[in-house]
Structure 1
Amino acid sequence: MGVMRPELIMKSVIPVIMAGIIGIYGLVVAMVLKGKVTSASQGYTLNNGFAHLAAGLTCGLCGLGAGYAIGIVGDAGVRGTAQQPRLFVGMILILIFSEVLGLYGMIVALILGTS
């Protein structure tokens, strides 16, 4: 597509950037949880451990779902935009809603990790 329609290269990179942002959400949660983990002698209980496990799983599984949705929509959207440029706006809207799935996972993980 880049050879036939070079003006679409920057539009084609948007799903890749949005997928990278999902990875940053996981990194943020990991850094927050890393600061909360202490030794058992300092008062780290089993309840805290399970809360941190749930926070990591929540962020990871929501990121997995968001990444899968971004991948499917991005692939079909980029191919469709090459054929019909009006599909670009619809692709961006669906990508934004897919990104929000990962953002919700990060918010829930931060709530679980800090409580």
Structure 2
Amino acid sequence: VFTVLGAAYGTAKSAVGICAIGVMRPELIMKSVIPVIMAGIIGIYGLVVAIVLRGKVKPASAGYTLNDAFGHFAAGITCGLCGLGAGYAIGIVGDAGVRGTAMQPRLFVGTVLILIFSEVLALYGMIVSLILTMG
């Protein structure tokens, strides 16, 4: 749920920037969709972890211990909160970056790099949560 909230915030905030520059520079709209795409990927990270965790959960009678349950809970929270933070970062960077790129096209490369660094937060959260599900 948290990863999807982060993805929604990133998409909405970036879309505000896209709408703002669509009036001034309509030729940059397709270039400005990158933050929205990157925000959507965060939701996919949460879906992957949810599917993996769903396969690991079993009834208590089948030997599912409290230790396993807390480990899986920690894995879900880790991925979710990392996705929430990454979506927040992508939203802020996407909005400011899209508006800045409309005024100064040289900022596009820097904006994409910062978006990648923001996306990596969610990727690291997914990796850590997958490691937590293995143990």
TM-score band, normalised by the shorter chain?
Answer: over 0.9
Choose the corresponding residue for 1:98, options 101, 111, 118. 118
State the AA in 2 paired with 1:51. G
Q: Give the 5 Å matches for 1:21-32.
A: 21-32=41-52
Q: Give the 5 Å matches for 1:25-104.
A: 25-104=45-124
Counterparts of 1:16 and 1:31, CA distance in 2: 24
Alpha-carbon RMSD across the aligned residues, in angstroms, is 0.8
Cα distance, 1:90 vs. partner? 0.3
State the AA in 2 paired with 1:98. S
TM-score by length of 1: 0.97
TM-score by length of 2: 0.83
Cα distance, 1:2 vs. partner? 2.0
Choose the corresponding residue for 1:4, options 24, 31, 47. 24
State the AA in 1 paired with 2:75. A
Between the two proteins, the alignment pairs up a number of residues equal to: 115
Cα distance, 1:6 vs. partner? 2.0
Cα distance, 1:11 vs. partner? 1.2
Counterparts of 2:34 and 2:63, CA distance in 1: 45
State the AA in 2 paired with 1:30. A
Say which SS state the counterpart of residue 86 (structure 2) adopts.
helix
Counterparts of 1:104 and 1:38, CA distance in 2: 26
User: For residue 6 of structure 2, what is the aligned residue in structure 1?
Assistant: none
Gaps of 5+ in 1: none
Instruction: Report percent identity of matched pairs.
Output: 83
State the AA in 1 paired with 2:48. V
